A and B are shown apart, each in its own frame.
Chain A
Amino acid sequence: MILGIDVGGTHTDAVLINGATVVKTAKVPTDLSNLFNSFLRVTDTILSENEQRHLDRIVLSTTISTNAVIQGKTDPVGMIISSGPGCAVSSLSLPENTVFVSGSIDHRGQEIEPIDCREINAANRHFSAHDIRHLGIVGKFSTRNPTHEYVIGDALQAGYDHISLGHRMSGNLNFPRRIATTYLNAAMWRLYNSFVDNVRTFAQHRSITAPIYILKADGGTFEIGQSARYPVGTILSGPAASIMGIMALSPITRDAVALDIGGTTTDIAIFAKGVPLLEPRGVTIEGHKTLIRGLRTTSIGIGGDSILSYVDGTVVVGPERAGPAAAFGGPSPTPTDAMIVLGYSTTGDRRAAATSLATLDPSGRTSPSAIAEQAFATVIKAISETVSTMIATINNEPVYTVHDLLTGEKISPEAVYIVGGPACEIAPHIEKALALPCLVPRNAEVANAVGAALARTTAELTLRADTEKRTLTVVEEGVQTPITKRFTRDIGVDICRDKLRERALKMGSSHEDIQIELTEDQTFTMVRDGYVAGKNIRLKAQIKPGLIAQAEETVTA
Chain B
Amino acid sequence: MTTRRRTGIIFFPAFDWSISATHPEREERLLYTQDQVFEEGLFDFDNIIEYNPGIASLSDINRVHFCVPDCDSIMTESHRISAGGAITAAEKVMDGSVDNAFALVRPPGHHAMRFVYGTRGFCTVNVEAVMVEHIRRRYGHRRVAIVDTDCHHGDGTQDIYWHDPDTLYISLHQDGRTLYPGTGFIGEFGGPNALGTTINIPLPPHTSDEGFLYVCDNLILPVIDEFQPDLIVNSAGQDNHFTDPLTSMNFSAQGYAALTSRLSPHIAVLEGGYSIESALPYVNLGIILALAGLDYSNVTEPAFDPREIRQSDNVTERIKRDVATVYHLWKTRHQQRDEFIENTPTVTRRKNIFYDTDHITEKQVETVFLCDECGGLVTVSSATSHHPPVFAVIIPGRSCPSCRRRGEEIFHQTTTDDFHAVYIQDREHDVFCVKEK
Task: Using CB atoms and an 8 Å cutoff, list the residues of chain A in contact with chain B.
Answer: 83, 85-91, 104, 106-108, 112, 140-141, 144, 172-177, 281, 289, 396-403, 405-406, 522, 524-527, 529-532, 536
Docked pose: A198 CA to B298 CA in angstroms: 47
**Provided the pairs A524-B28, A529-B245 are in contact, do residues A405 and B81 lie with their beta carbons within 8 angstroms?**
yes
Q: Do A289 and B44 form a contact, CB below 8 Å, given A88-B298, A531-B22? A: yes
Given contacts A107-B35, A402-B81, contact A527 B298 (CB under 8 A): no
The reply to whether A400 and B22 form a contact with Cβ atoms under 8 Å apart is no
Name the residue on B nearest A175 (C-beta).
B39
Residues of B within 8 A of A532 (CB): 21-22
Residues of B within 8 A of A176 (CB): 40-41, 44
Residues of the A chain whose Cβ atoms lie less than 8 Å from the Cβ of B52: 396-399, 405
Say how far A549's CB is from chain B's closest CB, in angstroms. 35
* Pair B39/A398 contact, Cβ less than 8 Å: no
Chain A residue at minimum C-beta to C-beta distance from B28: A524
The 4 A-B pairs at the shortest CB distance, nearest first, are namely A88-B295, A107-B35, A176-B41, A173-B38
Q: Which residues of B contact A405 (CB under 8 A)?
A: 12, 52-53, 55, 81
In the bound complex, residues from chain B placing their C-beta under 8 Å from that of A525 are 21-22, 26-28
Contact A90 B295, CB 8 Å, known A173-B39, A176-B41, A399-B52: yes
CA gap between A527 and B301 in the complex, in Å: 20
Report A-chain residues with C-beta under 8 Å of the C-beta of B35: 107, 141, 144, 173
Complex interface: chain B residues within 8 A of A173 (CB) = 35, 38-39
Whether A403 touches B298, Cβ cut-off 8 Å, given contacts A524-B27, A524-B28, A525-B26, is no
Complex Cα gap A174–B43 (Å): 10
A174, A397, A527, A531 interface centre (most CB from chain B within 10 Å):
A527
Find out whether the CB atom of A86 lies under 8 angstroms from the CB atom of B245: no
* CB pair A403 B16 closer than 8 Å: yes
Q: Decide: A400 and B13 in contact? CB cutoff 8 A.
A: yes
Question: Chain A interface: which of B281-289, B376-384, B389-397, B398-406?
Answer: B281-289
Contact B16 A402 (CB under 8 A): yes
Contact of A526 among B28, B53, B297 (CB under 8 A): B28
The residue that A89 contacts in the complex, of B31, B50, B53, B298, with Cβ under 8 A, is B298
**Chain A residues with CB under 8 A of B43:** 281
Q: Does B354 contact A (CB under 8 A)?
A: no
State the B residues within 8 Å of A (CB).
11-17, 21-22, 24, 26-28, 31-32, 34-36, 38-45, 50-53, 55, 77-78, 81, 245, 277, 281-282, 285, 289, 294-302
A141 to B78 alpha-carbon distance, docked (Å): 30
Which of B28, B39, B298, B300 has its CB near the most chain A CB atoms (within 10 A)?
B39
Contacts of B44 in A (CB 8 A): 174, 176-177, 281, 289
Chain A: minimal CB distance from B291 (Å) = 14
How far does the alpha carbon of A267 sit from the alpha carbon of B28 in the complex, in Å? 40
Assess whether B17 is in contact with A88, with CB atoms less than 8 Å apart: no
Complex CA gap A403/B14 in Å reads 9
Question: Can you list 22 A-B contacts with CB-CB less than 8 angstroms, sorted by A residue number?
Answer: A85-B299, A85-B302, A86-B40, A87-B294, A88-B296, A89-B298, A90-B295, A172-B38, A175-B41, A177-B41, A281-B44, A396-B52, A400-B12, A402-B14, A402-B17, A405-B52, A405-B81, A524-B27, A525-B27, A527-B22, A527-B28, A529-B245
**With A107-B281, A524-B31 known to touch, is A402 a contact of B297 (CB < 8 Å)?**
no
A530–B17 contact, CB under 8 A?
no
Whether A107 pairs with B298 at a CB distance below 8 angstroms is no
Residue in A91, A140, A175, A531 whose Cβ sees the most chain B Cβ within 10 Å: A91
Q: A107 contacts B294, CB within 8 Å? A: no
* Chain B residues, Cβ within 8 Å of A531: 22
CA separation between A527 and B21, bound complex, in Å? 9
A524 nearest in chain B by CB position: B28
A399 CA to B81 CA, complexed, in Å? 12
Shortest CB distance B78–A (Å): 5
User: Closest A-chain residue to B31, C-beta based?
Assistant: A524
